[in-house]
Amino acid sequence: MGCLEPRPEDRYPSVGDLLSALDGCRSGRSEKVVPKSDSVSSLSKDILGPASTPDQAEAEALAQRALQQARDMGRLIDAADLMEEAFNKWPSLRDKHATRVQLWRRGICM
């Protein structure tokens, strides 16, 4: 309900405060909680999931799937997301395909 307060000064001052309050609701506490400096970052990391481990072969396979989707199916946003996954697995692919991903995100297939 704190997000719906009519006066801005009665709302949560930051997203971190809101996340802490939501976390408190999950654990049964209902009061506003002031986050510790590292609690928000650990919560954010939990939301993002585990870090990707470098894997060139898997990255190349993802990149090929992305290129195929863009070419054959015209699913540019899905192709861009797949290519970003490939970049996470093998960052050097970014040098080769970054421009292509930018175009796909704008709806342009080349």
More confident residue, 110 or 54: 54
More confident residue, 110 or 11: 11
Residue 65 has pLDDT above 90, yes or no: yes
Q: What is the mean pLDDT of residues 20-43?
A: 58
Q: Whose CA is closest to 85, among 107, 64, 108?
A: 64
Predicted TM-score (pTM) of the model is: 0.53
3-state secondary structure of 22: helix
3-state secondary structure of 91: coil
